[in-house]
């Protein structure tokens, strides 16, 4: 597998994070996936070499985790949560609509290489059901129409803002973020959206006192 | 008098910069750290023990007690591993916490490591939520820059490195020993206990594994003290909790309240049920705990009260379902989840979830055989308590729980599909959907 | 009834604490730390199991062994819970909880398991079948679709996998990872899709892969050699001993009518535990068809004709009539102890010659002196158990993974479990050394003696590793293992002996062939008589003559020649006759010289199983039985006698000892009938004696160095290579390691090497791919006898010789 110097440095940095090198296996597979779009046999051999493991040991790990794809993926990955709650609250409808629109099914990629879609498990966004992810960035409270609009915009090369996160980049970029973790985009998106703030909002509406009495009193005269 | 909501971890989530070090520090953030560093490590452990804080990841194990299991002066490196693998269906409290207030976790990590004498902490975040990962990674970086992490922190002689580590899609990695194996670069399969992680965990060294929310409590505890903490909750379930309320309520979201609040109160705070909704069933804490019905709405949400009611508080992330929902479909979809997530190590879970799911699907499709209901029940009994880890127990929970209250619906599954019995659009919150 | 586990009297580890427990109401005491499943076995209670194996770390994955423990609400896995004082265990025999739990697990195991029994190799010897009958339902409640996989798939040319049958016990992957150190098979996927697999294009070419077939509790893993070939009830099993290397593995040879169909490892805790290597397991085609039905006699037409035994023996007697004192005997390293004793007697008593040597391979006088003084007659020396418990093991000129795989497994076990420090004096760190977590003391070929002397002096010149190892060698129980290639490293064996003497460490010699230690014990070296006795010693001669039933005057007194000298003498016409048993000229250092010698000698008797290079020159060929047609004894490297039975009882084929007896009769110098029982009695009568023992050699080390464009050869055999005894099993050969030439980066660059190198001598040249390796400069390593790499046959050189290097074209 050919990698450039930047990636080579990233490999080294990732391995150096851990007291034992094998711990770098999962992040390195994300890195490999960010370069090739999936985890290929080449990628497996590369990681095996870096970590002094056998390719079987690496492949064994790669096949355990759902996020590592062993087939060609699209430029964008769209996940629709179809676990019980999301499914009932609209996820199944959103999935069917998406699948019909793109003409592909679960874990499949469009012929033009633009989109892969997947029925995903609980995204820890149950409060925002139905939950959809675009290149794993949150796209909350999804509807068939909102997802369809995303498809159109991405196809047209127009920017799509994730609901809690940055502007959508692509699948490989997200994989890269998972490998390196600090990608400089933490400031993107709101600190919290209205659902995350639901409890705080309800408390403030009812004039409930802040409880962290040891905190410095606010100069802005909050509650 | 209704139980108040108590925004503490969530108190400043409405600051646009709540997730930055500036935003955090403005409200007392990183004031707890010097206070802890001035104490003896064992005193910090003792303090946390005194609070009675219980793990917020679902098991509810007393946190200070877990820390005290780490043998000291053993010459081995100690590790703190933060379990941010939140993947339990229904649970969405840790991801929002990481996105809106990651520094609470970071400060908590530093203090915890100081207490248990760990020089290395790992935050294992599920890979499917990059925004949580980048927010906590940025917070760690900011903390390094401010000298809160690194060598000789604030002249205390205490060194610490913190690593943010992305998972790659496996619910089983929320189980602490499977998480450790995954963090070591292996398949996420649980380990035999004993040895327990406190004695031989990460890299066979003493390790504490704690949930995100648990550790995030620590700075507030250090700053405000034991008595302050114990004013919330009950004797056996002290403290406050992030309750992520989801499902057919008007305003699903994160509600921070003392343990002991009732579901009725939470639903009320969440704006009540949606238009035309009547609560049919709810689960107090994720799909892995037995479901409850309207008759249980006034039970205190505590570890002990939920256990007494035959269920568990778990992650305290309740899901609420109304009359438009097919219990058969709900349970079947949960079992498809467990089957998908089963690690495969042990026979009962690997084979049992697969068999059970296949049978349940026949009921969802409307052509189940009534005699299969006994088989499914047997399967559950053949898994629960016999599998290698709690994922098996979890998989064996929804069906018996549902059969207790909704046997008729399963029987109906012998001739009517779930979609025919319950209009699948009616349960959605999509525009144009109504509860009719 | 109380059952107590006896602690063996001679065991090295200290006695363990006992704990008292009850199992199904039966009180018993077991050593602390005993798993309940083992404790139950002590009273004959078998808790069903799949993933549990006494030699593998427990995983408690299959959940079949669930038992009830008083005080615990949930059933517990018996394989993973250690007995503790006062524990009360109830197995399925007395606990309904346990019985139901086990039945539940069995039901789960069978839902996806295919009903392949009619076509599955394991049927009839299948733990799943057996345990299903005991603990399962008679009819299945499962009527959904079972999971399907394409089947079988090749994990290697030799090992096949039927994934549908797999019960995910992970014995195979755990064995490969833990015991063999070859994590080439692993579990893939997750949940109900979990399966064993290999990485793409990376077959399961482990030297120990066959063990996974044996430990698999179902028919998921099969060997291409045995697949579909038999049913267990058609087989007769005979305990045998492996005829390949000197590890001494116990085997179980399974025979149907007149064919050996497979070999398994026989549970021999003190030697090979429950394992063997793929060579021992699969390479038995060589014994399948004896090629000679009758003796052969060369006629005046120069052609070998079939002859009757009387005719052949008469001809032999004619040819040997004038050979007394003017003949030599070359026996090779593959004889049984009984046959070795017979040759020893035949040479001295019948042919009156001491020109007898078993070493049909590179050798030296120093080695002969070493074997005669240190090894011969030393009885049971360093044992496997002592290796396992040693404070340090130093390997000199020995790569256990390639040369004695069971020693390798034991060393790896000790390295894993108790961090046994292992150091290797060799040119490069082999994969085997890595799997033993060993330390390399990098040594160019020829410099082994100097390295060993350096250790005796404290190891300073070998760096911090050397110092550490040198210090450990002084601790009680330290072991030095020397390999056969040290024979040609001048001064090395002397230095090893001196090192052992200085430090008090124990020394053991590990030859590559099963018969070599026995040959030493039988006295198949010039000047050496059976039991370590010296020809030069009058008392020894007397004892031996008495045991042989001959006059002491019949025995030669002059110490004879070694192989190289025999070959030279034969070429010079010094002999009237030569008697040769299984010798391959191409194993020797100078095959051309050997061939010339065979050609030159007036009368050549070849005693062998099938045609070889020697046959071409033989005047008489006397066929002898194959390993399966005879009973016998091999002495393993420990000095342990390993007795094996005759697999084909009705064979009429004769052993070498019987043939020699007939020749002796023909020459009117009878030596007795020399059947196996008789030879064993003789062996017992010639128990080791130290009288007249030769002195330990003290040859000074000397080394060679190469000039530019050359390199010193470092070489040893791969376990699986083109050895004669491996012929006939193509699937096994396909798993052999590919030959490469290893040089350091500096050596490669100085010689201008890129991808390929041409190695040449006056005798010939060969091309190999280059692998840059961390090793001394001016050295090249290549395997001795692999495909495209036949060092002796093509280059006519051996370990420590000089070859020329040049950049080569690829093949």
In order, the DSSP letters of C662-715 are: HHHHHTT-------HHHHHHHHHHT----TTPPPPP-PPP------TTEEEEEE
- Residue at a domain's end among A151, A170, A189: A170
Say whether residue B268 is in contact with chain A using an 8 A CB cutoff: no
Residues of A in contact with C184 (CB under 8 A): 54, 56
In order, the DSSP letters of C348-404 are: IIIS----EE---SS--HHHHHHIIIIITT--S-S-HHHHHH-S-EEEES--HHHH-
pLDDT of residue A223: 40
Average of per-residue pLDDT across C147-153: 95
Say yes or no: A83 and A57 in one domain: no
Say yes or no: A41 and A90 in one domain: no
Q: Which of residues 308-327 of B touch A (CB under 8 A)?
A: 317, 319, 321, 325
Residues of B in contact with C101 (CB under 8 A): 382, 386
In order, the DSSP letters of C594-607 are: HHHHHHHSSEEEEE
At C658-677, the pLDDT tens digits run 999 999 999 999 999 999 99
**Cβ neighbour number for residue C352 with a 10 Å cutoff:** 16
CA angle B239, B245, B247 (to 5 degrees): 160
pLDDT of residue C590: 84
Residues of B in contact with A93 (CB under 8 A): 424-425, 428, 430
Residues C440/C430, Cβ–Cβ less than 8 Å:
no
At C268-310, the pLDDT tens digits run 999 999 999 999 999 999 988 667 889 999 999 999 999 999 9
Is the pLDDT reported for residue C407 higher than 80?
yes
Interface contact flag, B346 C63, Cβ < 8 Å? yes
Sign of the torsion angle spanned by Cα atoms B346, B350, B351, B352 = positive
Question: What is chain A's percent helix, strand, coil content, to nearest 5?
Answer: 45, 10, 45
At C156-215, the pLDDT tens digits run 999 999 999 999 999 999 999 999 999 999 999 999 999 999 999 999 999 999 999 999
Give the 3-state secondary structure of residue C801.
coil
Say yes or no: A43 and A116 in one domain: no
Give the structural domain span for A110.
Answer: 76-170
Q: Which of residues 57-86 of B touch A (CB under 8 A)?
A: 77, 86
At C781-809, the pLDDT tens digits run 999 999 999 999 899 899 999 999 999 87
* Rounded CA separation C659/C721 (Å): 31
Say whether residue B163 is in contact with chain A using an 8 A CB cutoff: yes
Residues 6+ apart with CB under 8 A from C129: C117, C122, C123
Establish if A42 belongs to a structural domain.
Answer: yes
* Rounded CA separation C3/C40 (Å): 10
What residue of B is the nearest CA neighbor of A121? B337
Average of per-residue pLDDT across A81-109: 98
Give the 3-state secondary structure of residue C647.
coil
Query: How remote is the C-alpha of C119 from its chain's centroid?
Result: 33
Residues C527/C683, Cβ–Cβ less than 8 Å:
no
Query: How remote is the C-alpha of C108 from its chain's centroid?
Result: 41
- Which of C75, C80, C108 has the CB atom closest to B347's CB atom? C108
Q: Residue C498: enclosing H or E segment and its boundaries?
A: helix C492-503
Say yes or no: A38 and A81 in one domain: no
At C605-658, the pLDDT tens digits run 999 998 999 999 999 999 999 999 999 999 999 999 999 999 998 888 899 999
Interface contact flag, B246 A85, Cβ < 8 Å? yes
Say yes or no: A33 and A80 in one domain: no
* Rounded CA separation C484/C473 (Å): 21
pLDDT of residue C37: 98
Interface contact flag, B128 A200, Cβ < 8 Å? no
Here the tokens at position C250 are 């116990």
Interface contact flag, B19 A129, Cβ < 8 Å? no
* Rounded CA separation A139/A120 (Å): 13
The domain that holds A22 is classified in CATH as: 1.10.10.1590
Is C216 exposed, middle or buried (CB count within 10 Å of its CB: 0-12, 13-18, 19+)?
buried
Here the tokens at position B193 are 């206990």
- Give the pLDDT band of residue C744 (cuts 50, 70, 90): very high
Residues paired with residue C2 on neighbouring β-strands, in sequence order: none
Q: Residue B247: enclosing H or E segment and its boundaries?
A: strand B240-247
Establish if A153 belongs to a structural domain.
Answer: yes
Sign of the torsion angle spanned by Cα atoms B136, B139, B141, B144 = negative
CA angle C770, C776, C780 (to 5 degrees): 35
Interface contact flag, C105 B348, Cβ < 8 Å? yes
pLDDT of residue A218: 60
Interface contact flag, A27 B166, Cβ < 8 Å? yes
Q: What is the mean pLDDT of chain C?
A: 94
* Rounded CA separation C577/C600 (Å): 10
Say yes or no: A119 and A154 in one domain: yes
What residue of A is the nearest CA neighbor of C203? A56
Give the 3-state secondary structure of residue C559.
coil
**Cβ neighbour number for residue A112 with a 10 Å cutoff:** 10
pLDDT of residue A209: 84
**Cβ neighbour number for residue C205 with a 10 Å cutoff:** 21
Given phi > 0 = left and psi -120 to 50 = alpha, else beta, which region is C527? left
The domain that holds A161 is classified in CATH as: 3.40.30.10
Say yes or no: A94 and A158 in one domain: yes
How far apart are the CA of B274 and the nearest CA of chain A, in angstroms?
A: 12
- Give the pLDDT band of residue C59 (cuts 50, 70, 90): very high
Residues C186/A57, Cβ–Cβ less than 8 Å:
yes
DSSP for residue A131:
P
Interface test with B, best of C190, C194, C196, C416 (most B CBs within 10 A): C190
- Residue at a domain's end among A126, A153, A170: A170
* Rounded CA separation B65/C618 (Å): 84
Residues A153/A159, Cβ–Cβ less than 8 Å:
yes
Interface test with A, best of C200, C431, C774 (most A CBs within 10 A): C200
In chain C, the percentage of residues whose pLDDT exceeds 90 is 88
Q: CA distances (Å), A77 to each of A32, A92, B68, in order?
A: 16, 18, 44
In order, the DSSP letters of B96-134 are: HHHHH-HHHHHHHHHHHHHHHT-SEEEEEE-TT-HHHHH
Establish if A214 belongs to a structural domain.
Answer: no
Say yes or no: A92 and A159 in one domain: yes
Say whether residue C194 is in contact with chain B using an 8 A CB cutoff: yes
* Rounded CA separation C229/C282 (Å): 14
Q: Which of B201, B208, B276 is nearest to B426 (CA)?
A: B276
Establish if A200 belongs to a structural domain.
Answer: no
Residues C736/C730, Cβ–Cβ less than 8 Å:
no
Interface contact flag, B187 A60, Cβ < 8 Å? yes
Q: Which of B189, B145, B184 is nearest to B165 (CA)?
A: B184
Establish if A180 belongs to a structural domain.
Answer: no
Interface contact flag, B333 A24, Cβ < 8 Å? no
pLDDT of residue C688: 86
CA atoms within 13 A on the CB side of C350: 30
Say yes or no: A98 and A124 in one domain: yes
Say yes or no: A82 and A57 in one domain: no
Over C285-351, what HEC string results? HHHCCCCCCCCEEECCCCCEEECCHHHHHHHHHHHHCCCCCCEEEECCCCCCHHHHHHHHHHHHHHC
Here the tokens at position C775 are 């090793």
Give the 3-state secondary structure of residue C640.
coil
Say yes or no: A82 and A55 in one domain: no
pTM for the whole structure: 0.95
Interface contact flag, A191 B31, Cβ < 8 Å? no
* Rounded CA separation C118/C121 (Å): 9
* Rounded CA separation B336/A87 (Å): 12
For this complex, say whether ipTM is above 0.95.
yes
Is C181 exposed, middle or buried (CB count within 10 Å of its CB: 0-12, 13-18, 19+)?
buried
**Please, what's the b/e burial string for A119-150 (b: 16 or more CB within 10 A of its CB; e: otherwise)?**
bbbbbbbbbbbbbbbbbbbbbbbbbbeebeeb
Q: CA distances (Å), C572 to each of C249, C311, C416, C575, C671, in order?
A: 42, 30, 55, 8, 31
Here the tokens at position B390 are 């709690």
Interface contact flag, C191 B343, Cβ < 8 Å? yes
Say yes or no: A96 and A25 in one domain: no
Domains identified in chain A, total number: 2
Establish if A98 belongs to a structural domain.
Answer: yes
pLDDT (tens digit, 0 to 9) for every residue of chain B, 436 residues total? Answer: 689 999 999 999 999 999 999 999 999 999 999 999 999 999 999 999 999 999 999 999 999 999 999 999 999 999 999 999 999 999 999 999 999 999 999 999 999 999 999 999 999 999 999 999 999 999 999 999 999 999 999 999 999 999 999 999 999 999 999 999 999 999 999 999 999 999 999 999 999 999 999 999 999 999 999 999 999 999 999 999 999 999 999 999 999 999 999 999 999 999 999 999 999 999 999 999 999 999 999 999 999 999 999 999 999 999 999 999 999 999 999 999 999 999 999 999 999 999 999 999 999 999 999 999 999 999 999 999 999 999 999 999 999 999 999 999 999 999 999 999 999 999 999 976 666 5
Give the 3-state secondary structure of residue B228.
helix
Sign of the torsion angle spanned by Cα atoms B246, B252, B253, B256 = negative
What residue of B is the nearest CA neighbor of C75? B386
Interface contact flag, C108 B339, Cβ < 8 Å? no
pLDDT of residue C810: 58
Average of per-residue pLDDT across C242-254: 97
């Amino acid at each position: 597998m050919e990698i450039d110097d930047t990636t080579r440095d990233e490999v080294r940095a990732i391995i150096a994070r851990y007291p034992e090198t094998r711990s770098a296996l999962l992040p390195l597979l994300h890195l490999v996936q960010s370069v090739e779009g999936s985890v290929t046999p080449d990628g497996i051999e590369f990681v095996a070499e870096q970590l002094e493991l056998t390719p079987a040991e690496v492949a064994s790990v790669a096949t355990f985790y759902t996020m590592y794809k062993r087939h060609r993926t699209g430029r964008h990955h769209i996940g629709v949560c179809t676990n019980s709650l999301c499914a009932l609250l609209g996820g199944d409808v959103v999935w069917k609509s998406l699948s019909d629109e793109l003409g592909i099914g679960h874990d499949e990629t469009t012929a033009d290489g633009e989109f892969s879609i997947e029925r995903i498990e609980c995204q820890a966004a149950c409060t925002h059901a139905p939950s959809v992810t675009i290149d794993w960035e949150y796209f909350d409270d999804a509807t068939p129409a909102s997802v369809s609009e995303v498809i159109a915009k991405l196809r047209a090369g127009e920017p799509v803002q994730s609901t809690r996160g940055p502007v959508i980049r692509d699948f490989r970029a997200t994989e890269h973020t998972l490998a390196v973790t600090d990608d400089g985009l933490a400031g993107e998106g709101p600190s919290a959206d209205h659902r995350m703030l639901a409890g705080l909002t309800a408390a403030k509406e009812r004039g409930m006192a802040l409880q962290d009495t040891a905190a410095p009193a606010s100069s802005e005269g909050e509650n | 008098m209704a139980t108040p909501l108590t925004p503490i971890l969530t108190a400043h989530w409405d600051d646009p910069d709540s997730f930055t070090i500036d935003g955090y520090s403005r409200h007392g953030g990183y004031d707890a750290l010097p206070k802890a560093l001035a104490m003896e490590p064992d005193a910090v452990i003792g303090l946390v023990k005194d609070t009675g804080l219980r793990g917020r990841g679902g098991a509810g194990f007393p946190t200070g007690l877990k820390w005290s299991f780490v043998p000291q002066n053993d010459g081995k490196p100690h590790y703190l591993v933060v379990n941010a693998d939140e993947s339990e269906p229904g649970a969405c409290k840790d991801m929002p916490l990481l996105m809106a207030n990651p520094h609470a976790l970071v400060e908590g990590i530093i203090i915890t490591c100081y207490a248990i004498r760990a020089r290395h902490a790992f935050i294992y975040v599920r890979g499917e939520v990059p925004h949580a990962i980048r927010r906590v990674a940025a917070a760690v970086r900011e903390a390094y820059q401010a000298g809160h992490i690194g060598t000789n922190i604030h002249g205390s002689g205490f060194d610490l490195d913190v690593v943010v580590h992305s998972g790659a899609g496996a619910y089983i990695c929320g189980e602490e020993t499977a998480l450790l194996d995954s963090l070591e670069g292996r398949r996420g399969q649980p380990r035999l206990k004993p040895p327990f992680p406190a004695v031989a965990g990460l890299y066979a060294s003493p390790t504490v594994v704690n949930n995100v929310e648990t550790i995030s409590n620590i700075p507030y505890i250090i700053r405000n003290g034991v008595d302050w903490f114990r004013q919330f909750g009950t004797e056996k379930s002290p403290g406050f909790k992030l309750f992520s309320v989801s499902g057919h309520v008007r305003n699903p979201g994160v509600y921070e309240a003392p343990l002991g609040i009732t579901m009725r109160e939470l639903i009320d705070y969440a704006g009540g049920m949606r238009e035309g909704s009547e609560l049919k069933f709810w689960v107090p804490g994720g799909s892995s705990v037995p479901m409850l019905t309207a008759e249980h709405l006034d039970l205190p949400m505590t570890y002990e009260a939920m256990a007494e009611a035959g269920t568990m508080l778990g992650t305290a992330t309740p899901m609420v379902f109304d009359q438009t929902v097919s219990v058969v479909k709900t349970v079947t979809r949960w079992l498809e989840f467990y089957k998908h997530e089963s690690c495969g190590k042990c026979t009962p879970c690997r084979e049992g979830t697969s068999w059970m799911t296949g049978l349940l699907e026949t009921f969802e499709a409307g052509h189940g055989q009534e005699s299969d209901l006994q088989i499914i029940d047997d399967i559950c009994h053949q898994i629960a308590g016999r599998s290698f880890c709690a994922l098996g127990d979890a998989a064996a929970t929804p069906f018996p729980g549902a059969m207790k209250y909704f046997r008729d619906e399963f029987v109906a599954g012998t001739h009517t599909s779930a979609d025919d019995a319950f209009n699948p659009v009616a349960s959605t919150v999509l525009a144009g959907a109504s509860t009719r | 009834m109380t059952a107590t586990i006896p602690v063996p009297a001679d065991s090295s580890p200290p006695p363990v604490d006992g704990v008292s427990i009850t199992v199904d109401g039966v009180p018993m005491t077991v050593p602390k730390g005993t798993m309940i499943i083992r404790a139950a076995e002590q009273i004959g209670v078998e808790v069903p199991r799949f993933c549990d194996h006494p030699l593998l770390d427990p995983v408690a994955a299959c959940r079949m062994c669930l038992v009830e423990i008083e005080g615990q609400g949930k059933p517990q896995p018996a394989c993973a819970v250690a007995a503790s004082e006062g524990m009360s265990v109830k197995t399925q025999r007395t606990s309904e909880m346990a019985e139901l739990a086990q039945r539940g697990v069995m039901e789960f195991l069978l839902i996806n398991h295919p009903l392949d029994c009619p076509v599955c190799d394991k049927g009839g010897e299948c733990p799943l079948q057996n345990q299903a009958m005991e603990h399962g339902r008679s009819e299945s409640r499962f009527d959904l679709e079972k999971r399907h996989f394409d089947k079988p798939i090749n994990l290697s040319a030799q090992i096949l996998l039927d994934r549908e049958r797999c019960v995910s016990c992970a014995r195979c992957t755990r064995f490969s990872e833990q015991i063999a150190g070859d994590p080439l098979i692993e579990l893939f996927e997750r949940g109900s899709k979990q399966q064993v697999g290999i990485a793409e294009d990376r077959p399961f070419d482990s030297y120990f892969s066959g063990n996974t077939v044996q430990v698999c509790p179902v028919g998921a893993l099969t060997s291409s050699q045995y697949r579909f070939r038999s049913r267990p009830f058609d087989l007769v099993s005979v305990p045998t001993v492996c005829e390949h290397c000197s590890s001494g593995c116990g085997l179980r040879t399974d025979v149907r009518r007149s064919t050996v169909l497979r070999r398994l490892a026989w549970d021999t805790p003190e030697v090979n535990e429950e394992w063997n290597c793929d060579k021992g397991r699969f390479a038995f085609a060589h014994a399948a068809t004896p090629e000679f039905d009758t003796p052969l006699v060369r006629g005046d037409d120069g052609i070998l004709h079939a002859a009757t035994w009387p005719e052949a023996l008469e001809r032999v007697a004619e040819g040997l009539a004038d050979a007394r004192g003017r003949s030599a005997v070359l026996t090779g390293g593959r004889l049984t102890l009984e046959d070795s004793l017979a040759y020893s007697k035949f040479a001295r008593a019948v042919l009156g010659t001491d020109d007898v040597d078993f070493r049909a391979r590179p050798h030296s006088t120093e080695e002969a002196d070493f074997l005669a003084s240190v090894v011969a007659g030393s009885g049971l020396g360093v044992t496997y158990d002592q290796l396992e418990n040693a404070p340090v093991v130093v390997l000199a000129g020995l790569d256990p993974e390639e040369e004695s795989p069971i020693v390798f497994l034991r060393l790896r076990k000790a390295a894993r479990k108790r961090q046994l420090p292992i150091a290797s004096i060799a040119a490069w760190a082999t994969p085997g050394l890595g799997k033993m977590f060993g330390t390399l003391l990098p040594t160019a070929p020829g410099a082994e003696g100097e390295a060993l002397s350096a250790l005796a002096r404290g190891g300073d010149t070998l760096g911090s590793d050397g110092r550490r190892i040198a210090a450990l060698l002084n601790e009680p129980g330290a072991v030095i293992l020397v390999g056969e290639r040290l024979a040609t490293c001048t001064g090395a064996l002397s230095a090893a002996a001196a090192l052992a003497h200085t430090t008090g460490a124990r020394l053991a010699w590990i030859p590559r062939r099963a018969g070599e230690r026995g040959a030493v014990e039988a006295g198949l070296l010039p000047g050496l008589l059976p039991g370590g006795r010296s020809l030069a010693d009058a008392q020894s001669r007397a004892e031996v003559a008495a045991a042989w039933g001959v006059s002491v005057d019949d025995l030669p007194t002059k110490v004879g020649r070694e192989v190289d000298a025999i070959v030279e003498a034969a070429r010079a016409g010094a002999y009237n006759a030569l008697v040769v048993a299984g010798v391959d000229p191409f194993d020797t250092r100078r095959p051309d010289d050997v061939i010339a010698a065979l050609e030159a000698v007036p009368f050549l008797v070849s005693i062998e199983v099938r045609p070889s290079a020697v046959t071409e020159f033989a005047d008489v060929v006397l066929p002898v039985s194959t390993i399966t047609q005879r009973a016998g004894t091999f002495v393993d490297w420990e000095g342990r006698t390993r007795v094996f039975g005759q697999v084909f009882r009705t064979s009429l084929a004769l052993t070498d000892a019987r043939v020699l007896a007939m020749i002796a009769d023909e020459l009117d110098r009878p030596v007795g009938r020399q059947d196996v029982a008789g030879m064993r009695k003789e062996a017992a009568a010639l128990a080791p004696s130290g009288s007249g023992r030769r002195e330990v050699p003290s040859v000074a080390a000397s080394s060679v160095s190469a000039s530019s464009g050359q390199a010193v050869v470092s070489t040893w055999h791969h376990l699986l290579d083109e050895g004669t005894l491996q012929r006939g099993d193509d699937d096994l050969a396909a798993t052999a390691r590919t030959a490469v030439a290893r040089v350091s980066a500096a050596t490669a660059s100085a010689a201008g090497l890129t991808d390929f190198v041409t190695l040449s001598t006056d005798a010939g040249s060969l091309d190999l791919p280059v692998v840059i390796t961390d090793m001394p400069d001016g050295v090249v390593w290549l395997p001795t006898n692999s495909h495209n790499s036949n060092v002796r046959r093509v280059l006519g050189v051996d370990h420590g010789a000089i070859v020329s290097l040049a950049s080569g074209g690829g093949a």
